[in-house]
Amino acid sequence: MNKHFLPVGAMLGALATAAQDRPLNIVYIMCDDHSYQTISAYGSTVNHTPNIDRLAERGVRFTNSFVANSLSGPSRACMLTGKHSHANGFTDNTKRFDGSQQTFPKLLQQAGYQTAMIGKWHLVSMPTGFDYWDILTGQGDYYNPTFIRNGERLQRHGYSTTITTNLALNWLANQRDPQKPFCLFIHHKAPHRTWMPDLQDLELFSDSTYELPANFYDDYAGRQAAKEQRMSIAKDMDVVYDLKMADRDSTIHSFDTTLELWGRAMYTQRMDSAQQAAWDRHYQPIIKDFKQRFGNKMAAEGLSHADSLELNRWKYQQYMRDYLRVIHSVDRNVGRVLDYLEDNDLLDNTLIVYTSDQGFYMGEHGWFDKRFMYEESFRTPLIMSLPAAYGGKTGTSNAMVQNIDYAPTFLEAAGVSVPQDIQGVSMLSELKNTTNSPSTIEGVAAKQTGAYDISKLKDRSLYYHYYEYPDEHRVNRHFGIRTPRYSLMRFYGDVNQWELYDLQADPENMHNLYGKPGTRKLTKKLKKQLRQLQEQYDDPIRHKITD
Q: What is the pLDDT of residue 449?
A: 39
How would DSSP label each residue in 66-103?
E-SS-SHHHHHHHHHHTS-HHHHS--STTS---TTS--
- Of 385, 420, 446, the residue at which a domain comes to its end is 446
Close Cβ partners of 262 (under 8 Å, ≥ 6 residues apart) = 241
Q: Are the C-beta atoms of residues 112 and 8 closer than 8 Å to each other?
A: yes
pLDDT (0 to 100) of residue 18: 40
CA–CA separation, 369 vs 358, rounded Å?
A: 10
- Please say whether the beta carbons of 362 and 38 come within 8 A: yes
Together in a domain, 161 and 30: yes
Question: What local confidence, expressed as pLDDT, does residue 268 receive?
Answer: 87
How confident is the model at residue 2, as a pLDDT?
38
Identity at 544, one-letter amino acid code: K
Residues 336 and 305 in one domain: no
Name the amino acid, one letter, at 243: L
Q: Number of folded domains in the chain? A: 3
> What is the 3 state secondary structure string of 310-330?
HHHHHHHHHHHHHHHHHHHHH
Residues 442 and 476 reside in one and the same domain: no
CATH value at residue 508: 3.30.1120.10
Residue 3 domain-assigned? no
pLDDT of residue 23: 87
Q: The pTM is what? A: 0.93
Same domain, 189 and 333: yes
For the chain, list residues with pLDDT below 50.
1-20, 299-300, 436-454
203 in a domain, yes or no?
no
Range of the domain at 492: 462-544
Cα distances from 529 to residues 11, 431, 524, in angstroms, run 37, 28, 9
Any idea what the Cα angle at residue 110 is, between residues 108 and 112, rounded to 5°? 75
Q: How many CB atoms are located within 10 Å of the residue 250 CB?
A: 10
Residues 304 and 326 both lie in one domain: no
* Residue that finishes a domain, picked among 385, 414, 446: 446
239, exposed or middle or buried, with CB in 10 Å at 0-12, 13-18, 19+?
A: buried
Query: Contact 411/107 with Cβ under 8 angstroms?
Result: yes
Closest-CA residue to 197 (of 341, 327, 76)? 327
The candidate with the shortest Cα–Cα distance to 22, out of 32, 31, 11, is 11
Evaluate whether 357 touches 76 at the Cβ level (below 8 Å).
yes
Closest CA to 104 of 341, 452, 372, 403: 403
Distance CA 296, CA 236 (A): 19
What's the pLDDT at 434? Answer: 65
Same domain, 387 and 274: no
State which of 279, 294, 320 marks the end of a domain: 320
77/132 same-domain check: yes
